[in-house]
Structures are given as C-alpha cells and as structure tokens.
A and B are shown apart, each in its own frame.
Chain A
Amino acid sequence: MCAIWNPQAETMPREELLQLQLERLQSTLNRVYRYVAYYHRVLDEAGLQPEDLQSREDLQRLPFTTHQDLRESYPYGMFALPLREIVRLQSSLGTTGHPTVVGYTRNDLKHWTDLVARNLSGCGIGREDVVQIFFGYGLFTGGFGFHYGAEAVGAAVIPVSSGDLDRQLRIMQDFRTTALLGTPSHALYMGRRLVAQGLDPHSLSLRVGLFGAEPWSEETRREIEESLLLTAYDSYGLAEIGGPGVAAECECRCGLHLAEDHFLVEVVDPATGEPLPEGEEGELVFTTLTKEAFPLLRYRTGDVASLDSSPCACGRTLARLSRVLRRTDDLIILQGASILPEDVGQELASFAELGQGFQLRVRRGEEADDLEVLVEIGQVPDMSFPVVEHLQEQVRDHLRRALGLDLSVKLVEPRSLQGAGAPAPRVVDERTL
C-alpha cells in the first residue's frame, strides 16, 4: 500500500468531513459576500444573505457561476483579495476571448502543494523517485502545480517542461527518470517515439506515471503502460479552481479521490441544473472551500463524471470521481489548451470568401495531437485552384495567430459539411482518447 500523505484529511470519517465542509462553505460564503462584488450581487439578487445557507443542500439555492461569468470579470474582477495579498498569478489556456486569471495567496499555494503531494503519494511517488515533469511551465497550472507537490514529497524533480520528444527521451535515459508527470498524449507519443527509434524500454528506469489535463481512455493507458513499462495513473484538475491536485487515482485505480476538504462537488443534470443522485453521471459543479484569493461558488466545469463515496480499499474516505472522458459542450482540449468551436467560428467570420460551415477534426499525429479545421468555401464564382490555395494559407495563418495553436486548414466545397438533413457535427475527435 502506498503512503497516505495527509491521513488526517484523507481518512477523515465522512461525518466529520461533512461538518468541515459546512464550516468552510459558510466561511467562504461570508467572505465572498463581503469581498467579491459579483457574488454580493448574485446573493442579493437571489434574495439571500450568507447566513440563509444553513446546510450543504442550501447551496442549490444559489445560481451557477459559468465560464462566461469568469470571462466577463477578466482579469481580476472576481478576486476576493487585493493584488497586494496575491503572490502568484496563473491562467487557464483559453485560446481566444479572455482566459481565466487565477490568483493565489501564500496559504493557497500551501494548500495546492499539499493537494498535489497527496496525489503523488497516492500513486507511490516519493523521495526515492526521479520525477520528470513535462507539463508546460508558465501560466498553465500543470507545471508549477506538480512541481510543488513533487518537491514536497521529496522526489528529485526534473523540470523539463513540455516539448521535444527526443530531448525528453534522452533526459529520461540519462537522468534515470523513475516517474513521469505530464499529459497522457505526450506520454503516448514518447512511447511511440521510443518504439520507432528501436529503443528498449527496459533500458529506462520508469516505474510510474501520473497523467492529466486531457481526457484519455483505458486503451491509451494500456498503450502508454506497455510502451514505457510503467503504471499509469489518472489525475484531474482545472485552472479555474486552482489547477492539478483536485482528484487523482490511488493504487486501487477505481476512481479518482477528490479533495473534498477543499472542494464541494455537485453532480448536476447538464440540461436542467438539478442535482443528480450519487452514482449518476452528470456535469461537475465545484465550490471552493479554502481558496483565499479566488474562491468560486457553484462553478460549472462542463466536465461529465459521477461520484462514489463508498469506502475504498486504500483507506481514504474521500469520494471517488469517475474518470472524466466527456464534456457537456464541444470544448476540445488539445495540448493543455481548450478550444471552443464558437471561437473558431468567430475568427472565420472575418473572411468574406468563406461559407458558414466548418468542422474541427482532432486526431493523433506523429509528434502531438493535430487539429485540422475544415471550412466550406462561400458561393464565390470563379475560384481557381491557386486562389483557393492562397486563401487556405491566409485562413491558416490567421487561425494560428488568433488561437496560438499549430493547426492545419482545409477548404472544402460549399455545403459539403452539411450531411443529408442533419448538420454535420462541429467537432470530430478522432483520438481514441
């Protein structure tokens, strides 16, 4: 059995956990009502005072916080503390519009470290390990979040950051890396590159990997495990509520233990917003319980999963989240960034020569996941091949600049993306996930 990093929190009897959640929910409400103008207005409009929320269930009387609300408050509109109290700023990787800026106080960073350390301990990463982090360092929360946790558990940390597979493999060999932290797609490509180069995975020292920031299937897990000879664990987190450390699998790999002492999670029907009984799949809605700088009430994640609070063989009492493999919307998560088709549509609208229809196709490439944008040409007479080719390049360059992503564009015949009757889907994700 792997060590439990914070037994006090991770094995707390459920009854005590519910008490703690109530206490923290109420103190969070009292603070956001006082310090966050947005929530002050939301509560007032709902005709509520913070003290009217007397139980966890009463939380349902509050409206949801949506991604749109966060966009409108860009950059600091929903901070609960002035910047002088903030010691770190990170951001979500929204490609267009406004990303979400997340602030951390010293205590927030301390909690973040503890949460990620729990995740790492849960899959057996500790002081004996040489940890290679290939999450991007920077505004993206993955790099720094896992870095803090890995240092806290006493591992030797290699902060390679993302990029260049050959370099990653070389470091993995030379530094005798035992644990990998990064996106599953990167791990997958590393494994494939290893095979392509005819390298023997037995020459590596890998033993464990904790992956996240993207949905990935059991099939992908198997391929990663077989090609890199390690045990692969899943983790879950999102920038808006602080980054990684929210939930991760323990050695039982029967769901991801959720840090319920820091987050109150509801599973709701995405259509009606009504809470669903435990065990049913629905949209995850998060309320932060300990955030000082950037607390959120009932934040709709768009991620779909279910919860299970039955005891786990590992001894942790924290409920388990099913693996997040679906979303309620068409959001594509690619290389840690998120792309909404609407955003792409907005960019395409600036080209008069283009039609209405477009489709985003994502698939596994040689080095990384590829995004191809198929766009219908408008009803323009006399489009010679060179003209089309030139337009295609223009659109591609524009989208690359606007979205900050490497992608390819293919112009297609007018109306060819409209199937017989039903419109073609906006997103085709061909990754086996």
Chain B
Amino acid sequence: MAPRRPSLLSLQSVRVFYDSLEALKGVSLHVNEGEIVALVGANGAGKTTLLNAVSGLLPVRAGHLLWEGQPLAGRRPDRIVRLGITQVPEGRQVFGAMSVQDNLRLGAYLRLRRREHQAVREDLERVFAMFPVLRERCGQPAANLSGGEQQMLAVGRALMSRPRLLLLDEPTIGLAPKMAHQILETVAELRQQGTTILLIEQNVLASLRVADRGYVLETGRIVLEGPAAELLSNRDVQRAYLGKDYEEV
C-alpha cells in the first residue's frame, strides 16, 4: 500500500473577482504532498488568477483556501512564502541587471535574514547541480541569459526558498522544444526530491504526461478532474487542448 499523502493545499468553492468580473467561479481543488497536479485550460480560463490567489496576490471573495487545513486567505504574500508556497511567475521575471547568483540568493532572502547562510550555500550548489549552465554564468547579468536559461534561473530562484509547494506558471512558454522538454524533466525531478508542484502549462500533453492528476478549468469553472491518464484519454480534452480534430479522436 502506497503511503498516504496528506493534502497540502485545498480550495473549496473559491471565488475571485477583478472588480465586478468574476474570474474564478467557485473552484475546488486539492494538491496532495508529493504530487504534481496540472491545471489545464485556455487563455483567460483563470489559471494564473488561481495561482495568484494562492500566493496571496489576489483577494479571495468567497470560499476557503486552506494550507494543511488552515485558512490561507487574508495572509500577506510574504507570509505565504514563509509557509512554503513559492510561485514561479509566467514570463520568468528575473532581475535582468542583477547577476545570476544574486538572483538566486534573492530567492533565499527570508532564509538569509534568518542567517541560514550555510544552508543557503548548500542549496545554491544544489541548484547549480541541477542547472549547470547557471554555474557557468553565475557572475553574468541575468538579462544576458537565453529564454530557457532565464526559466531555469526563475525555477532555481524559487527553489532557493525551499518551497514545499511550487506554483509553476507556464514554465515552458516561448522556449525551444528541447529546452521545454528539459524544464519539464526538471519538474519531474523536483517531485522526486520531495517538492509538491501545481503546474500550469500551455503544453497540455506534456504537462499531463508529467502530472499525477489534473484539473480542466474553463471560464473560471472546473469542468473535468481526474488522474492525468484519464484526462489524456478524455476526448473533450483531446479536441480542445491536444489539437486533435474530430477525425483523429
């Protein structure tokens, strides 16, 4: 019997608004410890809104947002990071003028303030081991990195906070296929090392292949959920997100 993985994050009927526009219309989902959960949906479905609500960047108007059973809503984003939730935003958003190493150290800001210098140095080594190219370029400004390298830097920076839950927003967007593949391999590797991941990915096929479970979000509502393999064999998903037309499915 597989060891039970307790639920880390759970959302119950969460509603989020941009002024009067309802972006999340009562969304319920959960992420168990050690899982990769994929959140799939078209542009504008509310995927990034959901991540931003979890990170505390957007207020939750109704419903429950729970971290290990405790309410999360209303907490400041930095408090949420302290709890172990780190978001890698879409478009990398690395600090271009700063060096690669400083970008990484910034990810460990809270820990450096707690004077965990030794542990931070160890984690830096861990990130460099995972992404050797970052070590090679650790003194260079982040702006000089390629798109794929910047994505590695963004993921590496998030890892420096030692997250328990990593929220990944479109980590392969704009990357060459080979680089995209490498990033998703890293995602699988991170899970092996014990990090739980909630993944938004424009490449639905690739994300469901790496994920344990998935949710399909459409105009702010979850319309399908289940094990990733089941979603992959759902014909609605195949047509809407995998680019297969009626003849193929």
Q: Residues of A with Cβ closer than 8 Å to B?
A: 4, 7-8, 11, 13, 15-16, 19-20, 22-24, 26-27, 30-31, 34, 49-55, 85, 105-107, 110, 290, 292
Q: How far is the CA of A34 from the CA of B222 in the complex (A)?
A: 12
List residues of chain B with CB within 8 A of the CB of A105. Answer: 234-235
Interface residues of B in 224-249 (CB under 8 A from A): 224-226, 230, 233-235
Contacts A19-B7, A19-B30, A107-B233 given; indicate if A27 touches B13 (C-beta within 8 A). no
Contact of B224 among A19, A27, A54 (CB under 8 A): A27
Number of residue pairs A-B, CB distance < 8 angstroms? 75
**Distance between A364 CB and nearest chain B CB, rounded to angstroms:** 44
Contacts A51-B15, A107-B233, A107-B234 given; indicate if A22 touches B28 (C-beta within 8 A). yes
Classify the secondary structure of B's interface with A. Answer: strand
Q: How far is the CA of A19 from the CA of B27 in the complex (A)?
A: 12
Contact of A23 among B1, B28, B230, B235 (CB under 8 A): B28
List residues of chain B with CB within 8 A of the CB of A31. Answer: 223-224
List residues of chain A with CB within 8 A of the CB of B28. Answer: 19, 22-23, 26
Contact of B7 among A16, A30, A55 (CB under 8 A): A16
Contact of A22 among B7, B12, B62 (CB under 8 A): B12
Q: How far is the CA of A19 from the CA of B4 in the complex (A)?
A: 16
Q: Can you list 7 A-B pairs with a CB-CB distance of less than 8 A?
A: A11-B1, A13-B4, A23-B222, A26-B13, A26-B221, A30-B221, A55-B12
List residues of chain A with CB within 8 A of the CB of B135. Answer: none
Q: Contact residue range for chain B?
A: 20 to 34
Q: Is the CB of B223 within 8 A of A27?
A: yes
Contact of A7 among B2, B27, B69, B234 (CB under 8 A): B2
CB-nearest residue of chain A to B10: A19
**Distance between A53 CB and nearest chain B CB, rounded to angstroms:** 8
Q: How far is the CA of A54 from the CA of B218 in the complex (A)?
A: 17
Q: Is the CB of B223 within 8 A of A34?
A: yes
**Distance between B41 CB and nearest chain A CB, rounded to angstroms:** 12
Q: Is the CB of A23 within 8 A of B15?
A: no
Contact of B221 among A11, A22, A51 (CB under 8 A): A51
Q: How far is the CA of A50 from the CA of B12 in the complex (A)?
A: 14
Cβ-based interface call for B57 (8 A) = no
Q: How far is the CA of A415 from the CA of B234 in the complex (A)?
A: 60
Q: Is the CB of B1 within 8 A of A7?
A: yes
Q: How far is the CA of A131 from the CA of B29 in the complex (A)?
A: 40
List residues of chain B with CB within 8 A of the CB of A15. Answer: 69
**Distance between A107 CB and nearest chain B CB, rounded to angstroms:** 5
List residues of chain A with CB within 8 A of the CB of B10. Answer: 19
Cβ-based interface call for B25 (8 A) = yes
CB-nearest residue of chain B to A85: B235
List residues of chain A with CB within 8 A of the CB of B218. Answer: 30
Q: Which 6 interchain pairs have the tightest Cβ spacing? A: A54-B13, A51-B26, A51-B25, A23-B28, A30-B221, A7-B1
Q: How far is the CA of A31 from the CA of B13 in the complex (A)?
A: 16
**Distance between A411 CB and nearest chain B CB, rounded to angstroms:** 56
Q: Is the CB of B230 within 8 A of A107?
A: yes
Q: How far is the CA of A27 from the CA of B30 in the complex (A)?
A: 14
List residues of chain A with CB within 8 A of the CB of B226. Answer: 107, 290
List residues of chain A with CB within 8 A of the CB of B59. Answer: none
Cβ-based interface call for B63 (8 A) = yes
Q: How far is the CA of A13 from the CA of B10 in the complex (A)?
A: 14
List residues of chain A with CB within 8 A of the CB of B7. Answer: 16, 19
**Distance between B238 CB and nearest chain A CB, rounded to angstroms:** 10
Q: Is the CB of B62 within 8 A of A54?
A: yes
Q: How far is the CA of A202 from the CA of B132 in the complex (A)?
A: 71
List residues of chain A with CB within 8 A of the CB of B224. Answer: 27, 31
CB-nearest residue of chain A to B1: A7
Q: Is the CB of A292 within 8 A of B221?
A: no
